[in-house]
A and B are shown apart, each in its own frame.
Chain A
């Protein structure tokens, strides 16, 4: 299994790469668009500020990712990498996301709960059986650390024009938000699968074994 991990200088790639290698994947790390033309699978990690995704635009990676997704290369965005799949985030209103999914990421509203949302929370997986969560229980614990979230009602239109929810899993914290997205060959997880024990490793295995039909 070959997987290309994108380095856009947003946080630490060590953990993601280590987990993928542990699972037997052949990992290529790149900060340039060219290797994406031959990529078999792509992972966009990221912790930190949404504004860091500007580097994807500046380096030509955004366009290369768009083309890869159109070629149906399996793509997984983690944390900010998932948020970037939407149109944008209120964290950096001037920075556009990829816009694969509709909507804008929001900051958790000010209530009594702590922000950021840090720790192990449960994911309630969508009833239609998301590919990312095959072989896992309906409600598993995974590790989160974030202050912005993807709205739960992220809808996509299929080839017949019908609207379907793209959230593969939801999580409750202050609000109910989308903790995973899945549509065709494009996946996103708000949690850190590389830091979520056996459950997280299983999510990564499912992504590595996913075949676009």
Chain B
């Protein structure tokens, strides 16, 4: 049976993980390669590295980080953040990424989705969507935002997800800006609306605080995968613990050996 995926996300700046300091007592604190390896050992199904470095020098550091992280990582590895062109994507793939996550660059130039897919396959292109609900409006009225949720593009989340699929995206990474960081649960209604609108897998992100939130987003949220970042710092110790609890709740997951 196809299992629901738990994807561990590492936010990196200048080659260091910037979240999760509390989690890192036993291994080199903040080193993305060590952390990615540890998450994979603990049963994370995939690793996502999101680069939040803004500087040009930081980009070179990113490629080095990707290379080091990919070196001994044998689960799918996605890299996102600052990928603006097909050449940027190619450099990240050559460094060892299996997939890239593109966000505002895909909105600015939707043809980028197909360009990357033509060389590396549709499965290698994740379109990330930052969504915010409009108060009082139905779920289909949610808009795509950029700049960390500050700028409204005026585009419908569901319509953009459909367009991304038709342009060759392999998966959608849907982040609810309303839920992100709140630890009150994923936006299941919005995730279900997007998941029903496309045939490609949808990864839910934003709002995880408890194991029950994951069970909910895999249930009524119809998510194919869920991103776990800060949950590992607030009560749930590891992907292993999360998956054991999900298995108890009847969610099909791959349990690490």
Chain A interfacial positions (CB closer than 8 Å to B): 10-12, 14-15, 18-19, 22, 47-49, 114-122, 141, 143, 145-146, 172-173, 194-198, 200-201
- A198–B74 CA distance with the chains assembled, in angstroms: 8
Interface check B80, CB cutoff 8 A: no
- A66–B137 CA distance with the chains assembled, in angstroms: 61
The tally of residues in B whose CB lies under 8 Å from a CB in A reads: 31
Stretch from B24-32, B117-125, B142-150 forming part of the interface with A: B117-125
Most buried by B among A173, A197, A201: A197
Chain B neighbourhood of A141, CB < 8 A: 3, 254
Chain B neighbourhood of A172, CB < 8 A: 1
Q: Main SS of chain B's interface residues?
A: loop
A200 touches B74 (CB 8 A): yes
State whether A118 and B45 are in contact (beta carbons under 8 Å apart), knowing that A18-B71, A18-B96, A198-B257 are contacts in the complex. no
Interface members, chain B 238-257 (any A CB < 8 Å):
254, 257
Chain B neighbourhood of A14, CB < 8 A: 70, 93-94, 96
- A121–B171 CA distance with the chains assembled, in angstroms: 17
Interface members, chain B 118-175 (any A CB < 8 Å):
120-124, 170-171
Smallest CB gap from A46: residue in B? B121
Interface members, chain B 62-112 (any A CB < 8 Å):
70-72, 74-76, 93-94, 96, 98
A114 touches B3 (CB 8 A): no
Chain B neighbourhood of A18, CB < 8 A: 70-71, 96
B74 touches A114 (CB 8 A): no
Contact for B2 among A119, A146, A195, CB less than 8 A:
A119
State whether A197 and B75 are in contact (beta carbons under 8 Å apart), knowing that A114-B199, A116-B123, A119-B45 are contacts in the complex. yes
B3 touches A197 (CB 8 A): no
- A52–B225 CA distance with the chains assembled, in angstroms: 29
Chain B interfacial positions (CB closer than 8 Å to A): 1-5, 40, 45, 70-72, 74-76, 93-94, 96, 98, 120-124, 170-171, 199-201, 224-225, 254, 257
Known: A121-B1, A198-B257. 11 other contacts (CB 8 A): A11-B120, A14-B96, A114-B201, A117-B2, A118-B224, A119-B45, A119-B201, A120-B5, A173-B2, A197-B40, A200-B74
Chain A neighbourhood of B1, CB < 8 A: 121-122, 172
A197 touches B74 (CB 8 A): yes
A-B contact pairs, 27 of them (CB 8 A): A10-B121, A11-B121, A11-B124, A12-B120, A12-B121, A12-B124, A15-B70, A15-B98, A18-B96, A22-B74, A47-B120, A47-B121, A48-B120, A48-B121, A116-B122, A118-B224, A119-B5, A120-B45, A141-B254, A143-B45, A145-B123, A146-B123, A172-B1, A194-B74, A195-B76, A197-B40, A197-B74
Contact for B123 among A15, A47, A120, A201, CB less than 8 A:
A47
- A119–B123 CA distance with the chains assembled, in angstroms: 11
A175 to chain B, nearest CB (A): 13
Chain B neighbourhood of A117, CB < 8 A: 2
Chain A neighbourhood of B257, CB < 8 A: 198
- A108–B27 CA distance with the chains assembled, in angstroms: 43
Contact for B225 among A15, A47, A115, A119, CB less than 8 A:
A119
- A115–B123 CA distance with the chains assembled, in angstroms: 11
- A173–B2 CA distance with the chains assembled, in angstroms: 7
- A196–B256 CA distance with the chains assembled, in angstroms: 12
Chain A neighbourhood of B96, CB < 8 A: 14-15, 18
A11 to chain B, nearest CB (A): 5
